Structure 1
Amino acid sequence: MSAEAQQSADRVLTIPNALSFLRLVLVPVFLWLLLVEKADGWAFVVLLVSGFSDYADGKLARLLNQSSKLGALLDPAADRIYMIIVPIGLGVREIIPWWLIGILIGRDLLLLLSVPLLRTRGLTALPSTYVGKAATFALMYGFPLILGGQLDGVFGDIVRPIGWAFLIWGTGMYVWSFLQYWVQTVLVMQKMPPGGGMSAVDSR
C-alpha cells in the first residue's frame, strides 16, 4: 500500500464517519423520545434521519473517496446497535411483537458464533451479500414506517401497512442472509488453511 493510500485509510475526520457517529448518537435520543417522552412523531423523524444517514455514508465514502479503516468498523457497528436497540424499544412500547424481535436479535447473536471459526482462517468477517444489504435496508425503513403508523390520521393509516411489508420482507431476507453467511463460513473452513493475517470484511 502506498503512503498516500495508507494515509487515506487512516483518516478519522470524514463526512461518512461523521454520519455513522451521528447514527450512534441518535440511538439514545430515539429511546428517550419513544420511551420517556412518548413523542412518536419526533422518534419517527429520528429513525428516518438514521436510515438516510446509513444510505448516505456509504455513497459519500465512494463518491468523495473517503473510505477509511474507522469507517469500515463504525458503519457496521452502528447498524448492529440500531438493529438491536430499535426493535427492543418498539417491543417495550408493544408496537412490534417480541417473537419477531427474538428472530432479529437471535440472528445477529448466532452469526457471532462464526467469528471464532473465521479467525482460525485469518478472517474476522465475511463479505457483504446483496441479500444482507437489502435486508438491512428494508428493516431500517420498516421500523420508522411502523412507528409512523402509530400516528393518528391519514398518514398513519397509509404508512402502517407499508411499514409492515418492509419489516416482514426484511426479516425474511435477514434470516436468508444468515443462512448464506453460514454456508460461506463452512466453505471457508473447508477450503482455507488455518492461520494467516487477520482480514476484516464488512458482513451484514
Structure 2
Amino acid sequence: MSGTDGDDAILTIPNVISLIRLLCLPLFLYLLFGLDDRFGAALLLGALGATDWVDGYIARHYDQVSALGKVLDPVADRLLFFVGIGGILLDGSVPAWFAWMVLIREAVVAVTTVVLAALGARRVDVTWYGKAGTFFLMFAFPLFLASNSTVSWAGTAEVLAWATGIPGLVLSYISWAMYAPLGLRALEEGRADRAAAALADDRS
C-alpha cells in the first residue's frame, strides 16, 4: 500500500482515490463543455462525490489515515465542489441562487479554516450536519445536471434534485452556524496546547 507506516504514509488507497478525484475534474469539464454531454458529466460528478465517502471509510477502518491524506482529502473535496458546482452554474443547469448559496458557504468555510490553522487552532472536526449536508448536495447537483440532459427521466431528476438539494442546503447552513463556536474553542485549545508545550520545554 505504501512505503511507510502511519502518518508518513503516502501511497495509501485513500490518497490514491483523492488523487484520482482531482485528475478527473478536467474530464468532467470536458464532458460538460467539450462534448456537451450533461448526463455523462452528471454520472462522473456523482461517482466522484461517492468516492469521498469511500476513501474516508477506508482510511478510518483500515488504519490508513495519513498526514498527506488529512490535507489531500479536504483539498479534493473543496476543488470538487468549486469546479463541479461552478461548471454546472456556468452551464445553466442549476438555479443561480442555489449554486451561489452553496459556493459562498464553501468559500467562507475554506477561508476560515485557513485562518484558524494560521492562528494555531487545532483541527475542527466536521459536524454531523456538515457531513449530511454534503451528502445530500453531492446527489443534488448531478441530478440538476441530469434534469437538463436528454434522458427520459429528466423530470424525475429535477424533482429528486430539489428533494435532496433543499435539505442539503439547510443542513450545510446549520453546520456553518455551529462552526463559529467550534472554531473559537479550537483556537483556545490550540493556544493552550502550545502554552503547555512551551512550559514543558522550559522545565526540561
The answer to whether the 8 Å contact 1:142/1:166 transfers is yes
Alignment correspondent of 1:113: 112
**What aligned pairs does 1:21-40 form with structure 2 within 5 A after superposition?**
21-40=19-38
TM-score, structure 2 as length reference? 0.83
The answer to whether the 8 Å contact 1:44/1:144 transfers is yes
Distance in 1 between the 2:190 and 2:72 partners? 28
Q: Which has the higher helix share?
A: 2
Change (3 A) 1:152 1:166: same
Segment of structure 1 superposing worse, 111-120 or 127-136: 111-120
Distance in 1 between the 2:65 and 2:74 partners? 13
TM-score, structure 1 as length reference? 0.83
The answer to whether the 8 Å contact 1:114/1:182 transfers is no
Q: Partner letter of residue 142 of structure 1?
A: A
Q: Cα distance, 1:100 vs. partner?
A: 2.1
Q: Cα distance, 1:81 vs. partner?
A: 0.7
The answer to whether the 8 Å contact 2:39/2:151 transfers is no
Q: Which runs of 5+ in 1 are unaligned?
A: 1-5, 198-204
Distance in 1 between the 2:188 and 2:96 partners? 37
Distance in 2 between the 1:35 and 1:91 partners? 12
The answer to whether the 8 Å contact 1:115/1:124 transfers is no
Q: Cα distance, 1:131 vs. partner?
A: 0.5
Alignment deviations for residues 55-92 of structure 1 (CA, whole Å, 9 cap, x no partner): 11111122322111111111111111111111111111
The answer to whether the 8 Å contact 2:94/2:141 transfers is no
**What aligned pairs does 1:113-132 form with structure 2 within 5 A after superposition?**
113=112, 115-117=114-116, 119-120=118-119, 122-123=120-121, 125-132=123-130
The answer to whether the 8 Å contact 2:122/2:189 transfers is no
Q: Which runs of 5+ in 2 are unaligned?
A: 196-204
The answer to whether the 8 Å contact 2:143/2:158 transfers is yes
Distance in 2 between the 1:86 and 1:51 partners? 10
Change (3 A) 1:13 1:129: same
Q: For 1:151, which of 149, 152, 159 is the aligned residue?
A: 149
Structure exhibiting the larger radius of gyration computed from Cα positions: 2
Q: Partner letter of residue 113 of structure 1?
A: T
Distance in 2 between the 1:177 and 1:127 partners? 11
Distance in 2 between the 1:117 and 1:71 partners? 19
Distance in 1 between the 2:194 and 2:148 partners? 51
Distance in 2 between the 1:10 and 1:191 partners? 25
Alignment correspondent of 2:61: 63
Percentage identity across paired residues of the two chains:
30
Alignment correspondent of 2:70: 72
The answer to whether the 8 Å contact 2:137/2:164 transfers is yes
Q: How many residues align?
A: 191
What is the aligned-residue RMSD (CA, Å)? 2.2
